Amino acid sequence: MASIVTVPVLMYHHVRPEGGMIATTPEHFEDQLAWLARRGYTALGTEAFARHLREGGAPRRSVLITFDDGYLDNWVYAAPLLRRYDMKAVVFIVTGWIGDGPARPCMGQGATLPETPAHRDCEERIAQGRADEVMLRWSEIEAMRAQGLIEFHSHTHTHTRWDQTDPAGKNPRMLDELAQSRATLARRLGEASPHLCWPQGYFDADYVEIAQRAGFRYLYTTQAFGRNLPGADPLNIYRFAVRDTTGSSVGRRIQVAAHPVIGPLFNRWKRWKRSRRA
């Protein structure tokens, strides 16, 4: 019989000492990982998560930890803490923002750590052609992959909202984005996986069809109020954003998301509230 487990998917961007917008401090991130570890949670990889969506079988206490974009702080602060707690994670990288160069120091090495700017500062530097100051390098990605806990998948090639910048040409633009991203991943990492995370959470029916034609089978959204159950639509994977807060606070959100009765009621209530605001 198929498992009835719901797997909450956690969405992060930054782990940095100052916290900030869509950023978690290392202290809070560690507290969140410690909460998961104390309660016997399994942090799945994408292969196990995909199998769960197809046929079930995930451990009752399971999560999928994801990071969007591929910021330098994922290497400096998040990766050492994931290793400390032996937790798997997924990073969706914008392949056009990733450069070459030696791996920079990370937490625990006893060296001076590089600057890890706030999100708005990262966006400004990327726009100025200074992505290397704030994004991962391929050497750091390769080092994390070698450690066996962190996977890297597509977040497109340029993270552009083509529906806003070129509405008439958005479909061929997205087709090119996905082709470039897959080719880059295949060349640099030896494989291009079927997992894709939408930039800024935007997608439509055309984009979903284009992604499938490009070879993607698992599409990750920023929609928070749904359940990743066995048999659920792999083209609409739900994730909720993790705040800069304690492990017990995030733990309550995880427990609500996974509860077979409270979870659906909570999701319906939140969707109703959102529709009222709209």
Task: Quote the pLDDT of residue 152.
Answer: 98
The pLDDT-based confidence of 1 (bands split at 50, 70, 90) is very low
Cβ atoms of residues 45 and 145 within 8 Å: no
Q: Average pLDDT of 59-65?
A: 97
Residue 10 Cα distances to 179, 197, 241, 257, angstroms: 27, 13, 6, 11
CATH number of 9-277: 3.20.20.370
Other CB atoms within 10 A of residue 80 CB: 17
User: What residues contact 275, with CB distance under 8 A and at least 6 apart?
Assistant: none
> What does pLDDT average to over the chain?
96
Query: Is the pLDDT at 46 greater than 60, yes or no?
Result: yes
Residue with tokens 């330098």: 72
Name the token pair of 231: 């048999």
Q: How far is CA 39 from CA 87, 174, 254, 263, in A?
A: 13, 41, 12, 19
Choose the weakest-confidence range: 39-43, 107-111, 122-126, 210-214: 107-111
Is residue 4's pLDDT more than 90? no
Token pair of 195, please? 């997992």
| pLDDT tens digits along 186-199 | 999 999 899 999 99
Asked if the model's pLDDT at residue 250 lies above 50, the reply is yes
pLDDT exceeds 90 at position 148: yes
Strand pairing category for 218-220 and 14-15: unpaired
pLDDT at residue 278, rounded to an integer: 78
Q: Which of 184, 125, 127, 150 is nearest to 75 (CA)?
A: 150
Judge whether residue 2 has pLDDT over 70: no
User: How many CB atoms within 10 Å of residue 159?
Assistant: 21
Percentage of the chain beyond pLDDT 70 is 99
**96-124 pLDDT, tens digit each:** 999 999 999 999 998 999 999 999 999 99
Q: Running DSSP on this structure, what letter comes out for residue 120?
A: H
Residue 173 clears pLDDT 80, i.e. is over it: yes
pLDDT tens digits, 14-32: 999 999 889 999 999 999 9
- How far is residue 198's CA from residue 205's CA, in Å, rounded to a whole number? 13
pLDDT digits (tens, 9 = 90+) for 69-106: 999 999 999 999 999 999 999 999 999 999 999 999 99
When pLDDT is cut at 50, 70 and 90, the band that residue 277 belongs to is confident
Q: Cα–Cα distance between 273 and 267 in angstroms, integer?
A: 10
Non-local CB neighbours of 233 within 8 Å, separated by 6+ positions = none
SS3 string, 50-101, reads HHHHHHCCCCCCEEEEEEEECEHHHHHHHHHHHHHHCCCEEEEECHHHCECC
Query: 263 near 6, Cβ under 8 Å?
Result: yes
